[in-house]
């Protein structure tokens, strides 16, 4: 939000507005899109500190919870984790004007995020019977997507009222551009987080404890009672119940005899293949291209023709969430029928096809070029001031022939930004360029006439679909890519890492997955802007190669775990069980 960025020194505001293309002069009230924020010199550093706070917090949280989850139990650990989140969210509400303070708050939230990512899949896998373990885990994700949709709607409304729906009817004068504006919007968003997390903490008291952890902690009577509730039987002497309980108790006795282990046991000969599979799975998860599309989606959508409102609210909050929910609903019925391995393979193959498509169809410029265009746009875009004069440095595809010739202006118009004079279309953020100086016509006809003239040309260009088809297809492909990932390669590793390890090292095995994912995320966020600036859309070649590797991994190395009780997983992983 604008107020958040100004408050923490990420940007300043001089009191003026800009339209969808960054134009800041001669903007009519009904054309205003957002405040004309100017990034500060420390913007990248501050954003990096805030982001790093959350990432490092999640890494620390995963490490801490891998020990705490075995000592306190799964349910108590989740309660503590939820309260930690509430503290972090509330500290953000009360935050002082210091980016270091907000980074600490993000670190605390990261602790909670990393902890939940480790302990939740472990709790679900230990609580739910084998035949429906995948479905219930997917149900967890379906409800999470519902929560994301509702939170997105709430935050989107707050964001819109704060940054787009302005009360002022004209630009105002601000002597100090760094002076804060109304901060109630982002504080309200954090306050809602605090309330939800406290409510969630209270609800956790009514869920059952993990019967497998209870047996491991030698609370056998409570474990049997809990299992009776899970299997909906009133008789503790039920034959099937006793058989399942005996299997869990005997497995706990064996693991308890070995004792609480440390991370080194993850790399002993009988376990290390599973560990390497989890490490590889969570690494390829990030390098498939998802981090690029998720972290830079607003810049990508803006660069391929979407308005700022579409890039920040409509596409990520509405379209992706709804499509993801629909695909997850389909996968919900497939996870225990066809297994984890099949979903991983299908998801990766679809993402591979999309990446191949984007190599050739991605029509946008690298992020640095987009930033350059935004800074240059402080000059009136409908004047004949040259914005680009170095054609050799042009990073968009230069069109060899004009899409239209305007007789009145006497110029050939190209659907790129590679010529001497550039105009940014208001409605779709496309660019029109030409070579002939039209300063005299501007003086004769006036800027308002020329402004209206080029708006008509933009509409004509959009109607002719001379450069909008590839942009819309890229929009669709990215939305589909993110939705497929959220439905397959995000939840399946989440489920898988909590199924394949014995109980004495289950939380540590789950933590290895989270640690690998977050470390790769951090590396990718550092390297991605560099390579994207160098390669542009051809960066998708790298993602394509990783998707091929991921598909081969799904076929060769991934062992199916559907329908296998956790106590029999050791036999399955060693190849002794073909089907259960």
In this predicted structure, what is the pLDDT of residue 379? Answer: 36
| Gyration radius from the chain CA atoms | 27
CA–CA dist 491, 144 (Å, integer): 11
What does 247-280 look like in DSSP terms, one character per residue? HHHHHHHHHHHH-S--GGGGGSTTTHHHHHHHHH
In this predicted structure, what is the pLDDT of residue 239? Answer: 86
Q: What is the pTM of this model?
A: 0.75
Query: HSE-up of 86 (CA within 13 Å, CB side)?
Result: 14
CA–CA dist 160, 164 (Å, integer): 5
Run of H or E including 421: strand 421-424
In this predicted structure, what is the pLDDT of residue 26? Answer: 47
The set of residues, in sequence order, having a beta carbon less than 8 Å from that of 463 and lying 6+ positions away, is none
123 to 151, 209, 225, 303: CA distances (angstroms): 25, 8, 17, 42
In this predicted structure, what is the pLDDT of residue 295? Answer: 65
Other CB atoms within 10 A of residue 149 CB: 17
The set of residues, in sequence order, having a beta carbon less than 8 Å from that of 384 and lying 6+ positions away, is 421, 437, 438, 439, 442
Q: What is the pLDDT along the chain (580 residues), one digit of tens a residue?
A: 777 777 777 777 777 766 655 555 444 444 556 676 777 777 777 877 888 888 899 999 999 999 998 888 999 999 999 999 999 999 988 887 788 888 899 999 999 999 999 999 999 999 988 888 888 888 887 787 777 777 777 776 776 666 555 545 455 566 777 777 777 777 888 888 899 999 999 999 999 999 999 999 889 999 999 999 888 888 888 888 898 899 899 988 988 888 767 888 899 888 889 999 999 999 998 888 887 777 665 555 555 555 555 555 556 666 777 777 788 888 888 888 888 999 999 999 999 998 888 777 654 444 333 333 333 333 343 333 344 444 444 544 554 567 677 777 778 777 766 777 777 665 545 677 777 777 777 677 766 677 677 777 776 665 544 444 555 666 677 788 888 888 889 889 988 999 999 999 999 999 999 999 989 888 887 787 777 767 766 778 888 999 999 999 999 988 888 888 888 888 887 665 545 4
227 to 49, 231, 243: CA distances (angstroms): 46, 6, 11
CA–CA dist 10, 51 (Å, integer): 13
In this predicted structure, what is the pLDDT of residue 388? Answer: 40
In this predicted structure, what is the pLDDT of residue 426? Answer: 54
Q: What angle do CA 528, 530, 536 make, to 5 degrees?
A: 80
In this predicted structure, what is the pLDDT of residue 351? Answer: 92
In this predicted structure, what is the pLDDT of residue 429? Answer: 52
């Amino acid at each position: 939000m604008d107020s958040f960025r100004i408050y923490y020194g990420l940007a300043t505001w001089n009191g003026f507005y800009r339209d969808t293309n960054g134009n800041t002069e001669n903007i009519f009230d009904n054309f205003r899109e957002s405040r004309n924020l100017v990034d500060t010199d420390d913007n990248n550093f501050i954003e990096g500190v805030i982001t790093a706070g959350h990432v490092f917090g999640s890494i620390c949280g995963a490490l801490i919870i891998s020990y705490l989850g075995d000592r306190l139990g799964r349910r108590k650990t989740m309660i503590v984790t939820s309260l930690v989140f509430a503290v972090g969210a509330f500290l953000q509400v009360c935050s002082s004007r210091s980016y270091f303070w907000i980074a600490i708050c993000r670190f605390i939230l990261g602790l909670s995020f990393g902890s939940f990512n480790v302990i939740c899949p472990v709790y679900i896998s230990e609580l739910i019977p084998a035949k429906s373990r995948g479905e219930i885990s997917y149900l967890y994700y379906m409800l999470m997507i519902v929560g994301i949709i509702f939170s997105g709607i709430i935050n989107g409304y707050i964001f819109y009222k704060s940054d787009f729906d302005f009360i002022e009817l004209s630009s105002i004068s601000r002597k100090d551009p760094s002076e804060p504006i109304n901060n109630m919007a982002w504080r309200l968003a954090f306050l809602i987080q605090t309330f939800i997390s406290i409510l969630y903490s209270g609800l956790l008291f009514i869920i059952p404890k993990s019967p497998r952890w209870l047996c491991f902690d030698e609370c056998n009577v409570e474990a049997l009672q809990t299992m009776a509730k899970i299997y909906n039987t009133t008789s503790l002497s039920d034959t099937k119940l006793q058989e399942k309980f005996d299997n869990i108790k005997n497995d706990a006795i064996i693991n308890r005899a070995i004792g609480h282990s440390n991370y080194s046991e993850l790399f002993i000969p009988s376990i290390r293949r599973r560990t390497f599979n989890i490490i590889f799975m969570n690494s390829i998860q990030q390098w498939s291209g998802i981090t690029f599309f998720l972290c830079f989606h607003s810049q990508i959508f803006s660069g391929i023709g979407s308005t700022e409102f579409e890039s920040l609210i409509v596409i990520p909050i509405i379209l992706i969430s709804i499509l993801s929910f629909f695909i997850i609903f389909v996968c919900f019925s497939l996870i225990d029928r066809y297994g984890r391995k099949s979903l991983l393979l299908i998801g990766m193959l679809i993402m591979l096809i999309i990446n191949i498509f984007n190599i050739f169809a991605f029509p946008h410029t690298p992020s640095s070029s987009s930033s350059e265009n935004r800074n240059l746009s402080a000059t009136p875009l409908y004047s004949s001031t040259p914005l680009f004069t170095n054609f050799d440095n042009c990073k968009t595809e230069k069109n060899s022939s004009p899409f239209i010739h305007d007789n009145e202006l006497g110029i050939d118009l190209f659907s790129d930004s590679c010529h001497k004079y550039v105009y940014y279309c208001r409605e779709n953020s496309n660019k029109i360029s030409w070579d002939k100086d039209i300063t005299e016509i501007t003086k004769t006809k006036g800027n308002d006439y020329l402004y209206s003239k080029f708006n008509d040309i933009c509409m004509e260009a959009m109607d002719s679909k001379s450069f909008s088809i590839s942009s819309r297809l890229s929009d669709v492909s990215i939305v589909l890519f993110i939705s497929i990932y959220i439905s397959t390669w995000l939840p399946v590793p989440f489920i898988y890492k909590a199924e394949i390890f014995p109980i004495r090292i289950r939380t540590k095995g789950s933590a290895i997955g989270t640690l690998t994912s977050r470390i790769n995320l951090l590396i990718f966020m550092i390297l991605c802007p560099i390579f994207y600036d160098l390669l542009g859309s051809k960066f998708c070649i790298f993602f394509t190669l990783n998707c091929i590797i991921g598909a081969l991994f799904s076929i060769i190395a991934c062992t199916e775990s559907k329908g296998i009780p956790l106590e029999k997983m050791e036999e399955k992983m060693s190849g002794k069980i073909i089907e259960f």
